Every structure is written in C-alpha cells, then in structure tokens.
Copies of this chain bind each other. A is one copy, B any other.
Amino acid sequence: ENGAVLSRMGGELRCQCISTHSKFIPPRNLQDVKLTQSGPHCPNVEIIAMHKDGREVCLDPTAPWVKMIIKSWMDKAQANSDSPV
C-alpha cells in the first residue's frame, strides 16, 4: 500500500516515509495527523496520519485534500471552547 511508514529501528532516526499516499482518505477515518520537522535525519517534512484503527500512512503533502484537512482542523481548533476535560 502506498505510504507505508518505516518503523524506527532501534531509535535510529531517518525518513519514515518511502512513498506517500495521494488518494483521498475521508477525514472521519483519521484520528490524527502528524507533521514531522525535517532535520539531519531526513530532509523532508513528513506528514503521517493515523487511521482510527491504528494504521499509520504517509500522506502526500502536495495533495489538496491533505492541505484541506490540516486547514479545517486548525480552523476548528480556533473554535475550541474551554470544555472541561
């Protein structure tokens, strides 16, 4: 499946995404989206999503729907009420 995430072998840091998934994934299937900073371990900013069933997938940062998810969740976060935990 495109977008497989490499497990971190023994904490050794490197790129986690060999390929990225470009096909649309309905946001309701996703639990979170993580942006990883580029650095000495990997020249790429990587975007890794976790499905609600725990599977992880590398997303294509240039795919419009990926940008949309991040934008809409950020917009939603602005409207967070300080609901009690």
Number of interface residues of A (CB under 8 A): 36
Which B residues are CB-close (under 8 A) to A30?
Answer: 37
Chain B, residue nearest A31 (CB): B37
| Contact call B38/A76, Cβ cutoff below 8 A | yes
Which B residues are CB-close (under 8 A) to A33?
Answer: 34-35
Which B residues are CB-close (under 8 A) to A77?
Answer: 35, 44-47, 61-62
For residue A24, give the distance in angstroms from its CB to the closest CB of chain B.
Answer: 16
For residue A67, give the distance in angstroms from its CB to the closest CB of chain B.
Answer: 7
Q: What residues of chain A have their CB less than 8 Å away from a CB belonging to chain B? A: 6, 14-15, 17-18, 27-28, 30-39, 42-47, 61-62, 67, 70, 73-74, 76-78, 80-81, 83, 85
